[in-house]
A and B are shown apart, each in its own frame.
Chain A
Amino acid sequence: MQQVAIVLLNALTLAALYFVVASGLTLIFGLMRIVNMAHGSLFLLGGYVGFSISDSSGSWVLGLLGGAIAAGAVGLALYQLLLARFQNQMLRQTLVSIGCAIVMADLMLAFWGAETYQIEPPALLDRVVRLPVAGGYSTLRLYVLAFAVIVGGLLWLLLNRTRLGMMIRAGVDDLQTLRALGVRVRLVFPVTAFLAGALAGLAGVVFGTALSISPGEGMHFLLTSLVVVIAGGMGSIPGAALGAILVGLAEQFGVFYLPTYSVMLTFGLMAAVLAFRPEGLFGVKA
């Protein structure tokens, strides 16, 4: 029972991170119809920059902000310089961003090397708490969970309760009408691109703090985010949350009870969802 509780908690904290990364992807991909396969590289960049800043300044918060801003800025640059030119050419965007991902991964390898980095957590957050059933558990991981809930809530509010969110949604439905109404569309999409990159970067720093960051993680998080977004349904924040929880559970229980084939479980889950709902759990019927 104690074991099940610990695995469950681990699954949820992992799901929290998957959700934050995938929410950035679902935002840019589902709402703007922009496919950014370099999203995993932005996650990795955020983690690296976060490590370098917090390591040299000694401040974790600075690292978190720096990582998020760096990933957001690169995400914005990718969008402005490359992806925006191919609006509505999904395949081309995908290929261009895969090219960017290849180059970025290689440059990061050149700069940060192949080591594994662990970002020093703030002492305030790094304790062990006694929980019922599970016993001792790291508070750091519980904060990760809280972090994801806050990010998800803010995102939902942004999209459904603010002018900017309204513009984003309207811009997707009918860009020309929105333009004709005098909304400055040219500002809305770059802001969204920055936000999506920053979300990936934030998650990168948090992941590097709670676990550790190394070159393979970019691909790992890109693939997981894709599975989460596909299973949850494109462009849906609640869908991303549900997808992330399902993937987190499948992965962690898989690692524990079926160590050899745990990766297959994650995929089997996606296949099962798609067999019944090709558009994902929360996806709009295409």
Chain B
Amino acid sequence: MKPPRAWIGAIAGGAALLVIPLVANSFWLDQIVTQALCLSLVAGSLSFLIRFGGQVSLAQVAIVGAASYALAYLGPNSSGLGPHWSLAAAIPAALLAAVLVATLIGMLAARTRGIYCLMITLAIGVTFFYLARQNYSIFGGFRGIAGIRRPEIAGLSLAGSVPFYALCATVAVLAYGAIRQLGRTPLGVALTALATNPDRVEAAGYDIRYLRILAFALSGVMAGSAGILLAWFHGRISPGAVDVSSIIQILVIAVLGGMGSLPGALLGAVLYLLLENFAIDLIGAERFNSLIGGVFLVVMVASPDGLLGLSKRSALLRNALPLGPAGKSPSSDRSPSQPGAAATASSANQGSEIAG
């Protein structure tokens, strides 16, 4: 049984998605809405990993990059690289590349938790950036690969703003629906439990390494779709799309709206792009990073689960409830034990649970 609130949200969201192309001009539709949908898929794949599997990965951008580069290299491009397959062959190949890279990253990260996972995936992401920048035969080196053409679906070209927006919105809705469905399956329940209490999942007889790798592979499908869409959005792919600032950008987006929530990822993406486009009026284009970093800091200090969590918890905050300290996780025998900490049910605990 769905609660009626979820229905209202779904209907309102669907209506908004349909109305937007009618009211938005091309700048808003392209630069804000469509780009926000693509970025929210990337941040959403990170949120997915946090919710199902409890891993905070900074290598999602590398998975996105793997899909973009695979599409650019294998399919038609103007840089004279690769076999120039048709799009019908290049698109599934790009998705497959993303899932493979995600699985590999999962294998490396599956034995780690919390902060260790975060650092290892950060190192993986940065390594991917260097690989893309140094290799000329496949990645096109410093300049990347240009001339990625948008496809035609049933005779309708996606070169225009509105059809491409429709495609991005469809993919985002499908991803959102698929994740909602997954949450109801036994696998989804096991993965959710993995995020909150891995030891218990293991005790119940699951192989948690396998589950974690599976969660990474599934997030790879989502990040890979985003990679294909972003490659089409920009028409090119270069190392700048997978560098440290892009990695941080996705983390900021995932955290701003609310970690582990898909609507939060979209909210974060919209907010980020608005700040990026209108920072000039607020603070001057030069100091955009200070602005976004400052906003990020304030949100993080005020509410660990982002703006969505802030709205939910503002009543709690007024009562000055301490945001629960982490429960003592069995995996770190050196963390000081906090009496009754595990009993705090506030969602503030989620972040610390993950980072145990």
Chain B minimum-CB-distance residue to A280: B116
CB–CB B336/A176 < 8 A: yes
CB–CB A264/B127 < 8 A: yes
Binary flags per residue of A93-113, CB closer than 8 Å to B gives 1, else 0 = 011101111110111001000
Binary flags per residue of A202-214, CB closer than 8 Å to B gives 1, else 0 = 0000000000000
Tell which of B135, B244, B336, B354 touches A175, judged by Cβ atoms closer than 8 Å: B336
Q: List 12 A-B pairs, Cβ < 8 Å.
A: A35-B115, A88-B325, A89-B304, A89-B323, A91-B118, A95-B255, A103-B293, A226-B119, A230-B123, A260-B134, A267-B124, A274-B111
Minimal beta-carbon separation of B232 from chain A (angstroms): 29
CB–CB A88/B290 < 8 A: no
Query: Complex: how many Å from CA A278 to CA B56?
Result: 17
Chain A minimum-CB-distance residue to B293: A102
Task: Known pairs A88-B336, A99-B297, A101-B293; list 7 more (Cβ under 8 Å).
Answer: A87-B325, A89-B352, A90-B114, A98-B296, A106-B293, A176-B337, A284-B333
Binary flags per residue of B304-332, CB closer than 8 Å to A gives 1, else 0 = 10000000000000000001011000011
A199 part of interface (Cβ distance < 8 Å): no
* Residues in B whose Cβ lies below 8 Å from that of A264: 127, 130-131
A82 part of interface (Cβ distance < 8 Å): yes
B218 part of interface (Cβ distance < 8 Å): no
CB–CB B108/A110 < 8 A: no
* Residues in B whose Cβ lies below 8 Å from that of A286: 331-333
Query: Complex: how many Å from CA A150 to CA B325?
Result: 38
Query: Complex: how many Å from CA A90 to CA B332?
Result: 12
CB–CB A95/B300 < 8 A: yes
Tell which of A91, A223, A260 touches B115, judged by Cβ atoms closer than 8 Å: A91
* Residues in A whose Cβ lies below 8 Å from that of B332: 33, 286
B274 part of interface (Cβ distance < 8 Å): no
Query: Complex: how many Å from CA A227 to CA B292?
Result: 27
CB–CB B118/A223 < 8 A: no
Query: Complex: how many Å from CA A244 to CA B351?
Result: 31
Tell which of B134, B286, B326 touches A89, judged by Cβ atoms closer than 8 Å: B326
Minimal beta-carbon separation of A62 from chain B (angstroms): 30
Minimal beta-carbon separation of A88 from chain B (angstroms): 4
Binary flags per residue of B344-356, CB closer than 8 Å to A gives 1, else 0 = 0000000110111
* Residues in A whose Cβ lies below 8 Å from that of B255: 95
Tell which of A90, A101, A173 touches B352, judged by Cβ atoms closer than 8 Å: A90
Chain A minimum-CB-distance residue to B244: A219
A65 part of interface (Cβ distance < 8 Å): no
Tell me the chain B residues, 65-105 only, with Cβ under 8 Å from chain A: none
B26 part of interface (Cβ distance < 8 Å): no
* Known contacts A223-B126, A230-B119, A286-B331: A88-B352 contact under CB 8 Å: yes
Chain A minimum-CB-distance residue to B108: A271
Query: Complex: how many Å from CA A286 to CA B334?
Result: 9
CB–CB B131/A261 < 8 A: yes
Query: Complex: how many Å from CA A103 to CA B300?
Result: 14
Tell which of B122, B300, B336 touches A226, judged by Cβ atoms closer than 8 Å: B122
Minimal beta-carbon separation of B324 from chain A (angstroms): 9
How many B residues have CB within 8 A of the partner chain?
51
Query: Complex: how many Å from CA A23 to CA B281?
Result: 43
* Residues in A whose Cβ lies below 8 Å from that of B116: 230, 278
Query: Complex: how many Å from CA A154 to CA B312?
Result: 50
CB–CB B127/A263 < 8 A: yes
* Known contacts A89-B304, A91-B114, A278-B112: A99-B334 contact under CB 8 Å: no
Query: Complex: how many Å from CA A260 to CA B304?
Result: 40
* Residues in A whose Cβ lies below 8 Å from that of B111: 274, 278
CB–CB B297/A103 < 8 A: yes
Tell which of B127, B287, B334 touches A106, judged by Cβ atoms closer than 8 Å: B287
Tell me the chain A residues, 67-93 only, with Cβ under 8 Å from chain B: 82, 85, 87-92
Tell which of A33, A82, A101, A219 touches B335, judged by Cβ atoms closer than 8 Å: A33
Query: Complex: how many Å from CA A49 to CA B332?
Result: 38
Chain B minimum-CB-distance residue to A270: B123
Tell which of B120, B296, B334 touches A274, judged by Cβ atoms closer than 8 Å: B120
A172 part of interface (Cβ distance < 8 Å): yes
CB–CB A263/B326 < 8 A: no
CB–CB A96/B134 < 8 A: no
Query: Complex: how many Å from CA A163 to CA B255?
Result: 40
* Residues in B whose Cβ lies below 8 Å from that of A88: 325-326, 335-336, 338, 352
Query: Complex: how many Å from CA A227 to CA B127?
Result: 12
Tell me the chain A residues, 231-283 only, with Cβ under 8 Å from chain B: 260-261, 263-264, 267, 270-271, 274-275, 278
CB–CB A94/B336 < 8 A: no
B208 part of interface (Cβ distance < 8 Å): no
Query: Complex: how many Å from CA A96 to CA B297?
Result: 6
B178 part of interface (Cβ distance < 8 Å): no
A174 part of interface (Cβ distance < 8 Å): yes
* Residues in B whose Cβ lies below 8 Å from that of A95: 251, 255, 296, 300, 304
Binary flags per residue of A22-34, CB closer than 8 Å to B gives 1, else 0 = 0000000000010
B301 part of interface (Cβ distance < 8 Å): yes
Tell which of A94, A103, A260, A274 touches B289, judged by Cβ atoms closer than 8 Å: A103
B163 part of interface (Cβ distance < 8 Å): no
B13 part of interface (Cβ distance < 8 Å): no
* Residues in B whose Cβ lies below 8 Å from that of A219: 244
CB–CB A96/B301 < 8 A: yes
Minimal beta-carbon separation of A218 from chain B (angstroms): 11
